[in-house]
A and B are shown apart, each in its own frame.
Chain A
Amino acid sequence: MVDSNQSEFRKRDLLYVLPLWLLSLILPDPHLDYRQEGRFRKRDLFYSGALLLLPIVWPNPHLHYVMILAGINAILALGLSLFLGYTGQISLGHAAFFGTGAYTTAILTTRYGFPPLVAFWASAAAAACLSYLIGRPILKLKGYFLALATLGFGEIFLVVVREAQGLTGGVIGIFGIPWFSVAGFSFDTYVKQYYLVWGVFMGLLLFCKNLIRSKMGRAFLAVAASEDAASSVGIKVAHIKLGAFVLGAAFAGFAGNLFACVISTANPEAFGLNLSVLVIMMVILGGMGNLYGPIAGAIFLTWLLDILGKYQEYSLPIYALILILLLITFPDGIGTRLNIRFLYLISYWGRKRRRERLDI
């Protein structure tokens, strides 16, 4: 993952030293401590404390709302990170599973009166079943062809949702989805929903932390590194890919459920290609093969979209421009690139001092 040309000294790095040092305190660093990623560290305490206290120290409803969306996006990005970041496969149809979750919730709660908790699990199950059915045939494809096939699946999903009006309400969608509630306690304010979304997220993050230290998680990394090598040590590559795909889809199902409960509508416009692109961008900008990066990417991009929303018709061109610039500047993730440069800088200075001492 690390380019060889990154180990050269560049003068412009001297400009980065201070921001790099500050960032390296909080940014995830996959290349240094990926072995400890599954363990609980002091940094985790800092992250979770910050998330817990945020709505209390900054009581701004708009902030809470954006952070709810960021939490939903973070769940999506976490799921895709298993498939794209760890297993190294690309999917442009992730929004379809998100949509499946949202529509399952909408239909179960508004038409059949199921409690939201049942819909919560049913959404993940529906998304996982759908992803299993679609993943079996298409996961033998690689690279661009996998991207194209998943993209085609996403488009078919959108067309079906728009046209099957009896089931999904067509272009207008489904309204009046009830708030999420557990045993009579209703999550009816932004603050409560904030804790709900980030609570679910924490649970899924713990699951992922354990998963990537398990046999299956190690197999994900092996498949990403080389499919031939992985199969030569007895890893069933097709099973592993399918497992990552189904898990990612189940996460998207959870996210879809929370989204439907927060927004209280399900509408096909929200589940298009743009969302899939956004989620992939979160994973790429956060850094592949790393759990914290996609979260940072999700929070960053959700805020970016919210800030750009002020500029109305200019927002999307500026957004696309920023994405392209970020991709060109940080092709292997913002945190990854900055941390590598920072580490290199330290080691360069260390070597320089040693050279001077030895008087070579």
Chain B
Amino acid sequence: MTPWAHIPQLLFSGITMGAIYALVGLGFVTIARASQIINFAQGEFVMLGGMITFILLKGGGMPYPLAALVAVLLVIIIGFALHIMVVYPLRKASLPILLMATLGASIFMSNTAALVFGTLPRTLPAFLGNQPLQIGGIFVTSQSLFVVGATFLLLISLYLLSHRTMTGKAMEASSTDSLGADLTGISRNLMVFLAFGVSAGMGAIAGIFITPIFYTSYCAGTLIGLKGFVAAVLGGWGKNSGAILGGFVLGVVESLSVAFIPSGYKDAVAFVMLLLILNFRPKGILGSPFIDSRRW
């Protein structure tokens, strides 16, 4: 069988993965839009979302929707805690310090998760049963369709939150012009605090979506977080639409690459794309509001 025969199937799984990357990338962008901070612990929210849902479902015996809801709320609280305990005390620190602090938080979260939840990979049952549907020549799991659909709903609600509400506008204002935001009475620390909550919640939802498709283990968060960040840079750093486009482009390219190169190299594809885009067009595909005006 030639590699071309697999293309439609791979394309679909790429879109599913792209939806996840888009959600994770949006988590990065939400925080960056409020404060120019990059939270390297974003991937751990994804891992924690999946793991906590698993524990509540299997250990706590909760019904599935309730377990997912509680898990998202818990991860949002963890996101707030991360801001209060790590990012807020370092709000005036230089870049390498903040970078190391969020990376340290990431190491802390993943290894604490290994202690609390165990080191075994976990999986969740699919939301709507496990029967694959056959559409045309390709097999599609209902989970993947659900993930893509729900991601679009989330993206729309995030768009409304960040462009149509006062809070969303205030978040953006605190990042684009800090002095102006202070003068209009916006509490910048509060905005960053809220951004951490929103971003953690989105990470947790991505984690709950992804766990039925792939196994989640305590160390899975780092890589998926990094790829989400790559997606956000690929599409255009600091733009919601950029993170979404970048997520889907990354997911599809990564998935299609399996047809042409040995599958072990799949994880390198995202980073090769990153180096290429940073070298030839650091603004990303859609252009970035941050890169031209600031010294990044």
Find A160's partner among B85, B104, B268, B275 (CB 8 Å cutoff). B268
Chain B: interface residue total (CB-CB under 8 A)? 45
Interface string of A148-174 (1 = CB under 8 A from B): 110111011001101100000000000
Find out whether the CB atom of A327 lies under 8 angstroms from the CB atom of B111.
no
Q: Does A320 contact B (CB under 8 A)?
A: yes
Check A141 for interface membership: any CB of B closer than 8 A: yes
| B111-A328 in contact (CB<8A) | no
Decide yes or no whether B61 CB sits under 8 A from chain A: no
Given known contacts A163-B262, A317-B111, A320-B105, A143 and B275 CB-to-CB distance under 8 angstroms:
no
Q: Please indicate the chain A residues that have their CB under 8 angstroms from the CB of B112 in the complex.
A: 317
Q: Which residue of A lies closest to B262 (CB)?
A: A163
Interface: A277 (CB within 8 A):
yes
Instruction: Name A's interface SS.
Output: helix
Chain B binding surface SS class? helix
Q: Which of A145, A160, A273 contacts B278 (CB 8 A)?
A: A145
CB proximity of B96 to chain A, nearest CB, Å: 5
Q: Say if the beta carbon of A221 comes within 8 Å of chain B.
A: no
CA distance A314 to B115 in the complex (A): 8
Residue B271, interface by CB 8 Å:
yes
Identify the closest chain B residue to A315 (Cβ). Answer: B111
- The answer to whether B90 touches A331 (Cβ under 8 A) is yes
A side interface size, CB within 8 A: 41
Whether A273 touches B222, Cβ cut-off 8 Å, given contacts A155-B267, A320-B104, A327-B90, is yes
Task: Give residues 273-316 of A contacting B (CB, 8 Å).
Answer: 273-274, 277, 280-281, 284, 313-314, 316
Q: Tell me if A142 is interfacial: C-beta within 8 Å of chain B.
A: yes
B254: shortest Cβ distance to chain A, in Å? 12
CB neighbours of A281 from chain B (8 A): 100
* Contacting pair A90 B103 (CB below 8 A): no
Whether A144 is near chain B, meaning CB under 8 Å from some CB there, is: yes
Chain A CB count within 10 A is highest, among B92, B103, B282, for B103
Interface flags, B92-121, vs A, CB<8A=1, else 0: 111111011101110110011011000000
In the assembled complex, the Cα of A359 lies from the Cα of B96 at a distance in Å of: 47
Q: Give the Cβ gap from B33 to chain A, nearest Cβ, in Å.
A: 14
Q: State in angstroms the CA–CA spacing of A111 and B114 once bound together.
A: 39
Stretch at the interface among B17-25, B127-135, B225-233: B225-233
Q: Which residue of A lies closest to B37 (CB)?
A: A144
Query: Distance (Å) between the CB of A149 and the closest chain B CB?
Result: 5
In the bound complex, how far is the Cα of B229 from the Cα of A160, in angstroms? 21
Does residue A26 face the partner (Cβ distance < 8 Å to B)?
no
Interface contact B96-A84, CB-CB below 8 Å? yes
